[in-house]
Structure 1
Amino acid sequence: MTILQRAATFAVMTFSLAGLVMSTPGKATEIDRGAMGTAIMGSTALIDSTTQALFRVTPPAPAAIPVLPAAPAQADPVQPVDAPKPQPATFDSLDAAVAAQDTSSDDDARCLAGAVYFESKGEPLSGQLAVAQVIINRAKSGRFPTSVCSVVTQRGQFSFVHAGIIPSIDSSRAAYRTALAVAKVALRAAWDSPAPDALFFHARSVSASARMTKVAAIGNHIFYR
């Protein structure tokens, strides 16, 4: 028998008992009113509990909260390491530095080689290097044009330049190959010039201005700043 059937049966019995009491007043005194009240209250409690059982709504189970995996620890960013700057090759002598230069050239090397060739071919290597250094110093000084070629071709500075043009040179000549190698040594700072601060030079036969400071005398040239 189901719970509903039991509750219905019990209710019928209770109402029948109540009708019997009401229809027979003489017997009412013989019935324990406390027992009848207890029976009625018991039936009411049974009905209430049955109703609650029928209509009780079971709350849904709480949804499981997904547990996300912990984010991986961020590694410290790798700092780029500056590549070491190339250092000039070291040589035992200026002769070795000149001999180590290749035959490639760019505009600066060709302009500088032309000046070295026309101004100091036949001079010792140290004198040729000093001439090349004068031109490089001028380009860096702020008092002259700012490139090697513009310093060499500046009007009124070198007598071999005509209308701003350096005369062509036979590149197969040994003197020119030496001048080109000396120019590259100077541009690459592969050997220290014996006249490092000089901005001017002239032949020994030329009188210098008293306002210039002598730096060195090499071969047939005197260097000033």
Structure 2
Amino acid sequence: MAHMSSLSVIAFDADDTLWQNEHFFRMTEEKFTNLLKDYASGDHVTERLLAAERRNLEFYGYGVKGFTLSMIETAIEVTEDRVPAAVLHDILRTGREMLRHPVETLPNVFETLTELSSNFRLIMITKGDLFDQERKLAQSGLGELFDVVEIVSEKKPEVYRRIFSQHSTAPHQCMMVGNSLKSDVIPALSIGSWAVHIPHDLTWALEHAEAPLEDPKFHEISELGKLPDLIYQL
């Protein structure tokens, strides 16, 4: 194992790592399936919605706006083009409600970031809608704890390599922390960085992946407050 002194940068995911996110998508999805209960079962609507989201990622990207458009598309499909205008209005309203929802930071976030910021450069690397991510960062009160904030359209190995390179840091000196194995952990490990997985109670189906247990730079902790102890043990 490398000693802690080899680390200079710790990067963090935002949604469901620093603040709640998927919880609000699930609540909205429940409202959505209820709106279409006269046309299809909840399970069927959920299945069609997930298929629409997967289809639309390359066009709309991640976030509330793309999710809202996928709900509208699903409603049109499930009702065979007969969706009432009132239902479309309600879908748009629930989307706006998500964009106005107060930010709820997860336990021990502020304390952990404050402690680590005295010894490491902190970078936020988050994907999603630019305006919404900027809104959540501002409302969270965490912005001043980060040296750099990067809002990207996708988290791929080349994206991590570019970000770390821009800030004059070699990948092996960086650690990525997040709740998604697919987006936060596996791409970072692939370029030689450390990666810490913090599972969230709710994980979007399109973010599921197998844990890379064989990689010596992979670690998993139950909550963010345990991150400093892990780092100091490396």
Q: TM-score range by the shorter chain?
A: under 0.3
More helix by share: 2
More strand by share: 2
Return the structure number with greater relative CO, CA threshold 8 A, min gap 6.
2
TM-score calculated relative to the size of structure 1: 0.22
Query: Which of structures 1 and 2 has the bigger CA Rg?
Result: 1
TM-score calculated relative to the size of structure 2: 0.22
